[in-house]
Chains A and B, each alone.
Chain A
Amino acid sequence: MLLSSSSAIIRRISLSWLIMANNSNFKSNRLACSERSTKRARTMSTQSFIKDAFSNYADYLNALNEKRERIVKASRDVTMNSKKVIFQVHRISKNNKEEVLEKAEKDLAAVRDLHISRLVKELQGTDFWKLRRAYSPGVQEYVEAATFFKFCRAGTLLNLDEINASLLPLSDPSFEPLQINLLDYLLGLADLTGELMRLAIGRISDGEVEYSARICQFVRDIYRELTLVVPLMDDSYDMKTKMDTMLQSVVKIENACFSVRVRGSEYIPLLGSSDPNSFLVGVSDAEL
């Protein structure tokens, strides 16, 4: 690429700026205010041409940083409000299950509508991966809250596809919708076990031994499945530390279940006293 005369340079550059304009979808439109600047560049010296180019770069970087900032803010709000949902679910006890979960469901929907929707608006195309660091914490927390809620309501794991399906209505159909990626989902799932541990301990002290045993089984399943998946993950460092904490949670629940089993006689009367009505309430839950 031998550019001998400065006019050749400028011709070359204006050509590449046109290419840049075509590229705008990829790079965001900021870089592509080509026409005007190119004309100006023609009449200016090379040095001010650098300035021109850099002011375009500056625009691009400013736009990107502002966007990132907005996403970080939205992500923080998602985190904060998802945490509240988790706390709400923790308020569960034998008698108030329905109302607690109903409120949690409403709160969760509010997180989705008020805050996740902000992420959805910002993120487009390559942003999902480019800006992942900015929104990942919030999304992980949301995954944690949503799966936690789902477990308490249905006793099953909320699938990634199900979460993503619930996000679809937030986005304009003409745009590519925000879909939580596999990695964030798995990271959120890893955090879920910590919450389940707390829930299990709480339930045991409330006398719901069998529920805790069920949680225990669920957490073990997740741990087991994750051990197979984690080594394949992109940035498995985070995940590895999470796996350690997860194992601790599993052991904690197991120990609690063990204690109850060993001193089971003290709990049996409690179990007997939980009347079948509570089960019937549970049935009507499913129909609601």
Chain B
Amino acid sequence: MKSAFRNTHCLTLSRYSLNPNPSILHFVPFIPYSRSLPSPVSRSLPSRSPLCLALFSTTMAGGDSESPVTSPSLEKQFEKFRVQLEDSGSLRERIRAVVMEVESATRLMQASLLLVHQSKPIPQVLEKANAQINVLKDLYNKLAEVVRECPGQYYRYHGDWRSETQMVVSLLAFMHWLETGNLLMHTEAAVTLGLNDSDFALDLEDYLVGICFMSNEMPRYVVNQVTAGDYDCPRKVLRFLTDLHAAFRMLNLRNDFLRKKFDSMKYDLKRVEEVYYDVKIRGLATTGDSVGDQGILKI
């Protein structure tokens, strides 16, 4: 029973059965078998003396101790790992290629949007920027297709498009605000980018970070609008940012990037308040804030 078990054990664990008849080994230990050891072991341990080799087979490492140290299964496993990692590496490269396109489309959008600071008429600015939306939508579709090849691993590669997506969201939200005076909601952003698919969606935290980025853009906009003579702008922006800040305060954030960005939002708010103060104290603001409080924001 015992030796039969050992025989099968040896055979299944390794093709190189060191000892076809283990019962002999029990009674004649060590040396006599050292010469007849099959090649894998002696190849892997060329410098060991026969004594040493024989001792190897009697270690306390347990019943399988007579199998060769460099087991083929170990090599096979690592071979498999290599293939898997190479696959995921090439997938990542494809993702990065798409993300780079996303980035350049975003840059075009941003460049045309920057004209808003030079008091170009908003519809004109938006028209150019809007042209990129469909490009982005296509690119995100492409990205989704690539990522769909590895179901359930969205977040494995998420970091590769994360910051780009945040940027995209911030621009979209800014455009939406210029257009409607309202905040672009998470689902709206997702729909705009075609990210309403169940296995490739817009991560909520990315959306929120994007909104924070948008808020960072506000002080500059207000300053430039006032310079250009739009004295009502600070009031509208201030209201919007106050609401946004209040909304963000409802969130319990962790000590992460989003938290940091949220913390920076209050400086935007402060800056806008200062501009508003400057405008108001000089009597430049045409509509009083007491009247304007209930007004629907429309630019």
Interface size, B (range): 35 or more
Complex: A3 Cα to B250 Cα, angstroms: 27
Whether A3 touches B180, Cβ cut-off 8 Å, given contacts A54-B250, A287-B2, is: yes
The residues of A that contact B46 with a CB separation of less than 8 Å are none
B63 x A51 contact (CB < 8 A):
no
Residue B118 is within 8 A (CB to CB) of chain A in the complex: no
B-chain residues with CB within 8 Å of residue A176 when the two chains form the complex:
152
Task: Flag if B77 contacts A58 (CB, 8 Å).
Answer: no
- 13-55 of chain B: CB within 8 A of chain A: 13, 22, 26, 29, 44-45, 48, 52, 55
Interface core residue of A31, A176, A285, A286 (most chain B CB under 10 Å): A286
Q: Which B residues between 39 and 80 are near A, CB-CB below 8 angstroms? A: 44-45, 48, 52, 55-56, 58-65, 67, 69-71, 73-75, 77-78
- A50 touches B (CB below 8 Å): yes
A186 sits at the interface (CB 8 A): yes
Interface flags for B159-200 (1: CB within 8 Å of A; 0: not) read 000000000000000001001101101111011100010110
Q: How far is the CA of A74 from the CA of B179 in the complex (A)?
A: 48
Tell whether A53 is near chain B: CB-to-CB under 8 Å: yes
Asked whether A157 is an interface residue with its Cβ less than 8 Å from the other chain, the reply is yes
A217 near B44: Cβ-Cβ < 8 Å: yes
Assess whether A50 is in contact with B69, with CB atoms less than 8 Å apart: no
Give chain A residues whose Cβ lies under 8 Å from the Cβ of B191: 16, 19
Docked pose: A23 CA to B203 CA in angstroms: 12
Q: Which of A65, A125, A155, A278 has the most CB of B within 10 A?
A: A155
Q: CB-nearest residue of chain B relative to A101? A: B62
A6: interface (CB < 8 Å): yes
B residues within 8 Å of A by Cβ?
A: 2, 5-6, 9, 13, 22, 26, 29, 44-45, 48, 52, 55-56, 58-65, 67, 69-71, 73-75, 77-78, 81-82, 84-86, 88-89, 92, 133, 152-156, 158, 176, 179-180, 182-183, 185-188, 190-192, 196, 198-199, 201, 204-205, 208, 243-244, 246-248, 250-254, 296
- Beyond A126-B155, A156-B13, A182-B81: 15 further Cβ-contacts under 8 Å? A16-B190, A20-B186, A51-B246, A53-B186, A54-B247, A57-B250, A128-B155, A210-B58, A210-B59, A211-B61, A225-B78, A276-B58, A282-B65, A283-B63, A287-B2
Q: Give the 3 A-B CB pairs with smallest separation, nearest first.
A: A286-B63, A16-B187, A129-B155
